[in-house]
Amino acid sequence: MMQKLIRALGLAAVLVAVSATAQADMKIAAVRNDLLQNSAQIKAAQAQIQSEVDKRRAALEAEGKLLADDVQKYQRDGATMSVDQRDKTEKDLNTRKAQLDYDQHKAQDELQARSQELQGAAINKIRDVIFQVGKEKGYDLVVSDAFIINPAVDITDDVLKRLNAQGAAPGK
């Protein structure tokens, strides 16, 4: 909420800084932020991230189940084991538990970094298309996350159509 206010105040400051004569000649367009959530690029990035999360989760859950089964077996059979077997099994179970915890944290960090990478690439593509559409339509300034008073300056639908026509492929 505070960021939106700061952005709105920043936009107002930019507009006030422009002289009255320059304002008359300047063409300004706006893009709604829902563009980001509705573009094919963002949807593809989110689907890829979800796929990677699901794959990692399944692998970690399988490892966790194996560990839980082995702990249960140890609890059941521990009384019949020799002291050396018990010590060795406890050490193995503790090592596996520590490794599983490490793998979970590592996976979370890697997935977060991957998410930022994919979303960043999609956002860069969106920015490029916003620039292209704004330039083609003769606008001097395109703002995002603004209060759009006049729908005639809203180029969101044009940008979204171009993005969706290009598809989600990073090279397009």
In this predicted model, what pLDDT tens digit does every residue of 29-79 receive, in sequence order? Answer: 888 887 667 778 888 888 888 898 899 999 999 999 999 999 999 999 988
Q: Which two tokens stand for residue 143?
A: 């703002």
Domains of the chain: 2-166 (3.30.910.20)
The reported pLDDT for the residue numbered 58 is: 94
The reported pLDDT for the residue numbered 5 is: 45
The reported pLDDT for the residue numbered 59 is: 93
The reported pLDDT for the residue numbered 78 is: 86
Q: Residue 119: exposed, middle, or buried by beta-carbon count in 10 A (0-12, 13-18, 19+)?
A: middle
Closest alpha carbon to 156 in 136, 126, 125: 126
Interval 105-151: pLDDT, tens: 999 999 899 888 888 888 888 889 999 999 999 999 988 877 778 88
The reported pLDDT for the residue numbered 118 is: 85
Kindly list the distances between the CA atom of residue 44 and the CA atoms of 96, 138, 149, 168, in Å, as whole numbers in the listed order.
Answer: 35, 30, 31, 6
pLDDT above 50 (res 19): no
Residue 3 pLDDT grade (very low, low, confident, very high; cuts 50, 70, 90)? low
The reported pLDDT for the residue numbered 91 is: 96
The reported pLDDT for the residue numbered 136 is: 93
